[in-house]
Amino acid sequence: MTHKVFIDGEAGTTGLEVQGRLLAHPDITLIQLDASQRKDTDARRQAMAAADAVILCLPDASAVAAAQMAAEVNVPVIDASTAHRVAADWVYGFPELTAKQRGAIQSSRQIANVGCYASAMIAMLRPLREAGLLGADADVGFSAISGYSGGGKDLIAYMQAGEKPRNFAYALNLAHKHLPEVLAHGDLAKPPIFTPMVGDFYAGMLVIMPLHLRVFRKNITINDIHNALAEHYADSPFIRTHAPNDAPAMHARGFLGVDDLIGTNYMDLHLFHPEGNTGDIGVLLARLDNLGKGASGSAVQNLNLILGIDETTALI
């Protein structure tokens, strides 16, 4: 059975990535508007009414209005903006969040697609919270680097015009827009300290969580953390947990590449600690494509779920 899907905002960065995946999807036919109709309310409404599902790739304010339009024509909607990620009447579009999340997505008509940085932070936090290893009020921090495509059209234009600086930290007010969803869906009582950076490359993402084991709820080891992650993601087709100090995953020089998963919907979780013992420190890292598992890949994964299609279709 072929399903009809309309991408509202297909000309944007995420929209184009979703479009590319769906054009290769064997069970999807895209409803597409001419460029002159993309901002025409009536044309968009008609496209939504004809669709089996709608994906919104719009700025927040526009996404709120488009979501209301989708509700009026009674079509399931996946919103890739930040507008609904902590809304009580929307289901969070991170299928691996809990054992029940896939079912919640499948039965919902309003899915808030996960944010790129947030997907990595939550992927590390939630299993530790579910396993009782980390308290909700623990002092947690993350650093990260992403390709500049994560900043959308404005940042892409800045980088491609050759502006400087080419590599930079930002959100230094410690109020990044992804923190509300990390707080809510990472099951924390207070937001983590988060220091993101942009690198002079188009796509790819690495998010790092320092591990001071003294902040955990009980005396645990790096192996306990690994076991909690491995158990949580045992049935996931996309999130892969590597053994502590997994040398085969690394470059011969000891490098861990930021761009190794570009074009895929995978997220790899890595644990590292001082050689010879598990000690009381370590680092937990998540690698992904910020445009894949962090955006358009997740949107297609959620789409597959709500349409009753195999979760991995057009993603592996």
Q: Per-residue pLDDT tens for 174-216?
A: 999 999 999 999 999 999 999 999 999 999 999 999 999 888 8
The chain-wide mean pLDDT, for the chain, equals 95
> Tokens 């899907």 appear where?
5
Q: What is the pLDDT of residue 278?
A: 56
Q: Which domains does the chain have, with CATH numbers?
A: 3-114+295-306 (3.40.50.720), 116-290 (3.30.360.10)
Element (H or E) spanning 111, and its range? strand 110-113
Round the CA-based radius of gyration of the chain to a whole number and report it: 20
Element (H or E) spanning 302, and its range? helix 297-306
Q: What is the pLDDT of residue 1?
A: 76
- Compute the residue count for the chain: 316
Residues annotated as catalytic are 116
d(CA 111, CA 299): 9
- Exposure class string for 151-161: b at 16+ Cβ within 10 A, else e: beeebbeebee
Checking 303-306 for CB contacts under 8 A at 24+ apart, the result is 303/5, 303/22, 303/28, 303/53, 303/55, 303/78, 305/95, 305/102, 305/105, 305/106, 306/53, 306/76, 306/78, 306/105, 306/106, 306/108, 306/109, 306/111
144-181 tens-digit pLDDT: 999 999 999 999 999 999 999 999 999 999 999 999 99
Beta bridge partners of 2: none
